[in-house]
Amino acid sequence: MQKIIKIALIAIGVLSAILWYLLPSSDMPAAEAASSGALNTMFIITYLLLGIAVVVSLVFTLKNLFANPQGLKKTLFVVGGFLLVVGISYVLASGTDVDPEFAAMTDEGTVKNIGMGLNVFFILTIIAILSLVVPAVKNMFSK
C-alpha cells in the first residue's frame, strides 16, 4: 500500500511540475490567465488532495474518538463549550457597526456574521491566554 501511495505522490509531483511550467506568464491579462487549463488543473489537484486529507483525518479522528469513551465525553464537552462561545458571540454581535459608506455593499446579516467571527476569535484568545497564565500564577504562589 505504501508503494502505491509513493508512486501516486511521485506522479502527482511530476504532473504538478509540468503544469507549473505551463502556467501563463505574468504579463498575460488576469482574465485570460484565470481560464488557463494548467491553472485549473492545478486547482483541481489541490482540491483533490485537500479533500483526501480532510477525509482521512476525519476517519482516523472519529475512529480514535469512539474507541475511547472518556475521550468522547471530553470531546462532547469541548464541542458544547465551543457552541456556547459561538452562541454568545452571535448575541453580542450587533450587525449595525459598519461605516455608512460601506453599508450599501453588504447586508446586516453578513456584518453580524463577521462580528460574530471576530467575537469568537477574541473570546477564544482570552480563554487560551487565561489557560496559560492561571496555572502559572497558581504554581508560582503554591511554592
Residues 99 and 143 grouped into a single domain: yes
Residues 2 and 48 grouped into a single domain: yes
Last-in-domain residue among 20, 41, 67: 67
pLDDT digits (tens, 9 = 90+) for 42-67: 889 999 999 999 999 999 988 888 88
What local confidence, expressed as pLDDT, does residue 67 receive?
A: 87
What local confidence, expressed as pLDDT, does residue 65 receive?
A: 84
Domain that includes residue 31, residue range: 1-67
Residues 75 and 131 grouped into a single domain: yes
Higher pLDDT residue, 134 or 101? 134
Examine the pLDDT at 101 and tell me if it is beyond 80.
no
Higher pLDDT residue, 90 or 21? 90
Residues 20 and 46 grouped into a single domain: yes
Summarize the confidence of residues 83-93 as an average pLDDT: 94
Last-in-domain residue among 51, 67, 83: 67
Residues 142 and 75 grouped into a single domain: yes
What local confidence, expressed as pLDDT, does residue 102 receive?
A: 65
65 backbone dihedrals φ, ψ, rounded to 5°: -65, -45
The residue assigned the cell 480514535 is 64
The residue assigned the cell 471530553 is 74
Residues 59 and 79 grouped into a single domain: no
Which grid coordinates are listed for 99?
461605516
Examine the pLDDT at 139 and tell me if it is beyond 70.
yes
Structural domains counted in the chain = 2
Residues 52 and 85 grouped into a single domain: no
Residues 4 and 61 grouped into a single domain: yes
Residues 130 and 74 grouped into a single domain: yes
Higher pLDDT residue, 24 or 112? 112
Residues 15 and 61 grouped into a single domain: yes
Are the beta carbons of 71 and 65 closer than 8 angstroms?
yes
Query: Which of 10-14, 100-104, 121-125 has the highest average model confidence (pLDDT)?
Result: 121-125
Summarize the confidence of residues 32-51 as an average pLDDT: 84
User: Could you tell me the CA-to-CA distances from 108 to 7, 86, 88, 91, 116 in Å, in that order?
Assistant: 51, 18, 18, 14, 12
